[in-house]
Amino acid sequence: APAPETPPPPPISLPGRSRPAPPVDDVADDDPDDVDVPSFMRR
């Protein structure tokens, strides 16, 4: 059977295509689940 023609997932190293890694500053943030916006941008 032929392989399904599904595009591979985008590499994690590509910014903009995947969620960036939360900065170390985000650990003590009030919203640790929000990794899309760094803490220094919310202050």
pLDDT digits (tens, 9 = 90+) for 1-43: 666 777 776 655 655 555 566 555 545 555 555 556 665 655 5
Whether the full predicted model's pTM is greater than 0.75, yes or no, is no
The per-residue b/e assignment along 5-22, b for 16 or more CB within 10 angstroms, e otherwise, is eeeeeeeeeeeeeeeeeb
Q: What is the pLDDT of residue 6?
A: 76
**Could you tell me what percent of the chain has a pLDDT over 90?**
0
Task: Quickly tell me which residue has 């170390």 as its tokens.
Answer: 24
pLDDT in tens, 8-17: 766 556 555 5
